Structure 1
Amino acid sequence: MITQNDIARLTGADVYDTDGDKVGSVGEVYLDAQGGDPQWVTVRTGLFGTKETFVPLRAASYSGDRITVSYPKGKIKDAPRIDADGAVSPAEEAELYTYYGLRDGDTTAGRHAAAGYGASYDDSSAASGTARLRKYVVTEQQPVSEPVAREETAGDEGRDRR
């Protein structure tokens, strides 16, 4: 079982299918907003990892830098294309659950949020009984050195002329 303790190491981990074939690597991690356990990941597929596909972590295992999911590679690659950079609409989420043959309660305790810090959750869907996938981003400050170029001249050439 994949737990909260694994979240920091999941991004970038290799994802393998039920037959041991590599599918791609993890792009984003989605958590149960109530319990905080990882429930879904997006998997970067394609020649240069340009496509991201949502995959449930139900019955998945994690060891080292490898996640083995309970779906075959073809099923994952044919999953509905949903933009992982934006909010997932209720219709898109329902499409994912239907595609993987799941009900909301099969993979979550109710609501989802993407792994990271400082997220907000829109609770408006809670009354309807549907889960909502939400993404948020880990933000950290990084010192950056940036070169600055300036022109200088020697002697009288650099003086103002009137």
Structure 2
Amino acid sequence: MPDLDTVLAWRGKTVVDREGEKAGTLGALYLDENDRPAYAGVQTGLFKRRESMVPLDGARPLGDDVQVPYTVEEIHSAPHVDADVNLTDEEQDTLASHYGEPTQILSGDEGPEAEMVRSEEEVSFDVAPAKPRERVRLRKHTVVEHVEKTVPVRREEVRLEHEPPPDGKIVDVKDG
């Protein structure tokens, strides 16, 4: 499974299925209980108004795209879940049963006579005097994004509860 930094860099990229057919655009990310990427939303439709969930297990970069080991039909027919809240255990089970086990993505031929090419590179280093090429300036811009997110709020309340005195006696506070 890819790490969080890798998947964050994939946001906005085109998602293709195991055959290389375009499925949509990678949108929201969903983390598991260990803060590892587990699912991603794939925005589909004319105005990207529909979001289908797809497991990230087996996802990999393919050029400028992200390839997942599922078909376009599987992605588009995924059960609908609310993208604005955490996935419940039942929703995770429903998605897992929909997708089943990921299919391994292999490049090249498959079968008993599959072939793989292994290559090595040799790197040589050379130190040459530095020559000025161009002048650059670094400018800082502040970009503001408006994000809506539901967060849990916990507070403590103190309540005064009245109970009758023991043995039914009425005690006058002035007399003690």
Q: TM-score range by the shorter chain?
A: 0.5 to 0.7
Residues 57 and 69 of structure 1 are in contact (CA less than 8 Å); yes or no, is this contact kept in structure 2? yes
CA distance in 2, matches of 1:56, 1:70: 9
Aligned to 2:159: none
SS at match of 2:6: helix
Q: 2: distance between equivalents of 1:40 and 1:95?
A: 13
Structure 1-normalised TM-score? 0.57
Q: Which consecutive unaligned segments of at least 5 residues does structure 1 have?
A: 103-139, 144-162
AA of the residue aligned to 2:55: P
Aligned counterparts of 1:33 and 1:11: Cα–Cα separation in 2: 21
Aligned to 2:3: 3
Matches within 5 A, 1:82-93: 82-93=81-92
What percent identity do the matched residue pairs reach? 34
Aligned residues between the structures? 105
The answer on whether the counterparts of 1:10 and 1:29 sit within 8 Å (CA) in structure 2 is no
Task: State the one-letter code of the partner of 1:83.
Answer: D
Counterpart of 2:25 in structure 1 is: 25
Q: Cα deviations across residues 77-136 of structure 1 (Å, max 9, x unaligned)?
A: 01101121123222222111111125xxxxxxxxxxxxxxxxxxxxxxxxxxxxxxxxxx
Alignment correspondent of 2:111 = none
Kindly state the Cα deviation for residue 54 of structure 1 after the two structures are TM-superposed: 0.6
Measured in 2, the distance between the counterparts of 1:61 and 1:52 equals 20
Query: Which structure would you say has the larger Rg?
Result: 2
Q: Which SS does the other structure have where 1:93 is aligned?
A: helix
Task: State the superposition RMSD in angstroms.
Answer: 2.3
1 or 2 for the larger relative contact order (CA 8 Å, sep ≥6)?
Answer: 1
SS at match of 1:40: strand
TM-score normalized with structure 2 length: 0.53
Q: How does 1:103-118 map to 2 (within 5 A)?
A: none
Alignment of 1:75 onto 2:77: no
- SS of residue paired to 1:52: strand
2:19 aligned partner, one-letter code = D
Corresponding residue of 1:97: 96
CA distance in 1, matches of 2:38, 2:26: 13
Once the two structures are superposed, residues 28-52 of structure 1 have per-residue CA deviations (whole angstroms, 9 ceiling, x without a partner) of 1122332x33221010011111110
Find the aligned partners of 1:32 and 1:91 in 2 and give their Cα distance.
14
Q: Give 3-state SS (helix, strand or coil) of 1:15's partner.
A: strand
**Structure 1 position 10, deviation (Å):** 2.1
